[in-house]
A and B are shown apart, each in its own frame.
Chain A
Amino acid sequence: MEEQEKSAQNFLTFRLGDEKFAANLDKALNILEMLPITKVPQSPEYMKGVINRRGEIIPIIDIRMKFGMEPIVVSKRTVIIIFRVEIQGETADVGAMVDEPGTVIEVSEADITPPPSIGAKYKSELVKGMLKVDNDFIMLLEIDKVFSLDELVEINQNKETAERGK
């Protein structure tokens, strides 16, 4: 049973801008239609705020900005994908705004290639590999890294040291 799972894995695809990305289906918790987002003041721009998912508060990230794209513009197709990720060794549910949900695809192990090391458009640590689907390549994201707090922690530490300097 496990062997089967290994030879073919399920991925959830979605679109950011004009590009297609994929994440391990295991990582996804569910997909939500756009909900009103409460902005949290004094937080980085890519942290869009929080939403109420059935009584649970989930932070929402504009992952487009993580990939250096323009901030997301909410459309009829915009959805929130909730991922269960590991942040600093702890699990957390985080929502990602994506331009359009894709579909669930099954890709066999053989069609997963490592990310191109040269000429990569995005930070290689965010890309886990490339999925070959019908002669098309979909970038497989390392979801944990995408939501990693490193950046945020750095920012805050810098701020603190700056304040300390005073």
Chain B
Amino acid sequence: MGNYIDFIIYLIVLLGSIPLVRMLLLLFFKKSVLKNIGFIFYLIIVFAAILGRISANTGTVHLLWQAPLTAVLLTAAFIYVDRINLAPVRRVKHELDKIKTGDFSESNKFVFSRQSTQTEIAEMYEAMQEMKTKIGSVLSEISELSASIFQTGEDISKEAQNITHLAKEQSASISEVYLAIKEVANLIAENTDKADKAEKIAKKSTVKIEVSNKNVKKAMDSLQDIAKKVNVIGEISFRTKILSLNADIEAAKAGENGKGFQVVAAEIRKLSEHSRAASEVVEKISQESINMALRTGRIAEQVVPDIKETSDLVKEIYSGNKEQNVQAELIKSSVHLIDNTSHKFTDLSLIMSDKTAYLSDFSTKMMNEISFFSFISQQNLTDNSENIIQNPLSFSPKSIYITVSHYLKSNSFKMIKNNELKTKTNG
């Protein structure tokens, strides 16, 4: 009886230490596989201890059975370790094998048990897994890029060819422009010369018109003078007429003696009438001349500023032309420069065309290199998503049916209602 109690106490102490050891293992090894291996060893020791105590007690050493049991227990413990703690190492090896072949495509993720995940090996797997995914996506991008580089290289090559063509054309037309501008510049130079001449002429004519204007004025003054004088002549002849009439009257009073005088008076009167008529004609003419001179003067007066304006304009044109001339020369040289440049440009575009061809080759090569890697193409992913997205937008015949039937139902209802209303009204 005393033995049992001791045993029991012993048992309790042994069993009780297990969780404590577990905790200590966790504390010391943390995520290392050793915590699991150590714990298993501790459990075997505990088991061996218990068994030793029992045998001691009974005094019979049952060594036969003890050895097999311990072997079994050890084997079980090693299986566990292999199975649980070394599985991740195998997964890593598997993955690395795949990478060796350039396969970066994503495989099903292996999920570890709770204990196993807590090991460093599991973590290593996960890290490797992640690295693979990332390299895969990089490779896919590189592939895509190289494809587009190729495409672009193709395009560039094509454009470069176009550019070369256009540059050639441009060069030709610029040459033409250059020739045209050269001609224009010549014309402008000629114009400038002419404008210069015109300006000189206008200046001269202004002076001449001014002189003639002065002369017209002078002529008008003299005409007016003449008109005045003619007026005086007219007046005098009128007076002479009156005088002769008076003489006639006096002569008539003098009777026979006045006869001769009367004749003279009549002659004087006739003369005065003639001179009056003549003076009237002259007056009329001079008046007309005055009017004409007035008109001429007025026109001349108007013309002078016009001519001056013209002369000024011509001057402006001349200076404008001169400027134009300078600018035309500038343009000419510029165009000449452009012409040269465009020729150079054509050459350059040819070089560029060659380079692009090289680029094209290069990108093809790169594409071939890239094709070694396998990875999930973005293209496929987008295709699937497209399908998923398309569905909700398309009308399925079923849905159409539902919609129509629903419509008909509501409509018929309305029709019945209407009929009812109609019958009601009819009744």
| Docked-complex contact B252 and A104, CB < 8 angstroms | yes
Given A33-B239, A76-B238, A77-B238, answer yes or no on A103-B252 (Cβ-Cβ < 8 Å). Answer: no
| Docked-complex contact A31 and B246, CB < 8 angstroms | yes
Chain B positions within 8 Å of A79 at CB level? 242
| Docked-complex contact A1 and B256, CB < 8 angstroms | yes
From residue A27, how far is it (CB to closest CB) to chain B in Å?
Answer: 10
| Docked-complex contact A25 and B248, CB < 8 angstroms | yes
Chain A positions within 8 Å of B249 at CB level? 12, 25, 28-31, 104
Chain B positions within 8 Å of A76 at CB level? 235, 238
Judged by a CB distance under 8 angstroms, whether B145 is at the interface is: no
Could you tell me how many residues of chain B have their Cβ less than 8 Å away from some Cβ of chain A?
19
Judged by a CB distance under 8 angstroms, whether B68 is at the interface is: no
Chain B positions within 8 Å of A104 at CB level? 245, 248-249, 252, 262, 265-266, 269
CA distance A101 to B243 in the complex (A): 11
Per the 8 Å Cβ criterion, residues 240-255 of B in contact with A are: 241-242, 245-246, 248-250, 252-253, 255
Given A103-B269, A104-B266, answer yes or no on A26-B239 (Cβ-Cβ < 8 Å). Answer: no
Chain A positions within 8 Å of B265 at CB level? 104
From residue B308, how far is it (CB to closest CB) to chain A in Å?
Answer: 44
From residue B221, how far is it (CB to closest CB) to chain A in Å?
Answer: 24
CA distance A2 to B255 in the complex (A): 10
| Docked-complex contact A10 and B242, CB < 8 angstroms | no
| Docked-complex contact A33 and B242, CB < 8 angstroms | yes
CA distance A45 to B363 in the complex (A): 129
Q: Is the interface of A mostly helix, strand, loop or mixed?
A: strand
CA distance A26 to B249 in the complex (A): 7
CA distance A12 to B250 in the complex (A): 12
CA distance A77 to B250 in the complex (A): 22
CA distance A1 to B254 in the complex (A): 13
Chain A positions within 8 Å of B256 at CB level? 1
| Docked-complex contact B252 and A25, CB < 8 angstroms | yes
Chain B positions within 8 Å of A30 at CB level? 246, 249-250
| Docked-complex contact B238 and A103, CB < 8 angstroms | no
Bitwise interface map of A from 5 to 44 toward B, beta carbon under 8 Å scored 1, else 0: 0000010100000000000011011111100000000000
Chain B positions within 8 Å of A32 at CB level? 242
Chain A positions within 8 Å of B248 at CB level? 10, 12, 25, 104
| Docked-complex contact B252 and A26, CB < 8 angstroms | yes
CA distance A79 to B243 in the complex (A): 12
Residue of A with least CB distance to B245: A31
Per the 8 Å Cβ criterion, residues 244-281 of B in contact with A are: 245-246, 248-250, 252-253, 255-256, 262, 265-266, 269, 273
Besides A12-B245, A25-B248, 15 more A-B contacts (Cβ < 8 Å) are A1-B256, A12-B248, A25-B249, A26-B252, A26-B253, A30-B246, A31-B246, A33-B242, A76-B235, A77-B238, A101-B242, A101-B245, A103-B269, A103-B273, A104-B269
Q: Which B residues contact A (CB, under 8 angstroms)? A: 235, 238-239, 241-242, 245-246, 248-250, 252-253, 255-256, 262, 265-266, 269, 273
23 contacts between A and B (CB under 8 A): A1-B255, A12-B248, A12-B249, A26-B252, A29-B249, A30-B250, A31-B242, A31-B245, A31-B249, A33-B238, A33-B242, A76-B238, A77-B238, A79-B242, A101-B241, A101-B242, A101-B245, A103-B245, A104-B245, A104-B249, A104-B252, A104-B262, A104-B266
Q: Which A residues contact B (CB, under 8 angstroms)? A: 1, 10, 12, 25-26, 28-33, 76-77, 79, 101, 103-104
The 4 closest A-B pairs by CB, nearest first: A104-B248, A30-B246, A25-B252, A31-B242
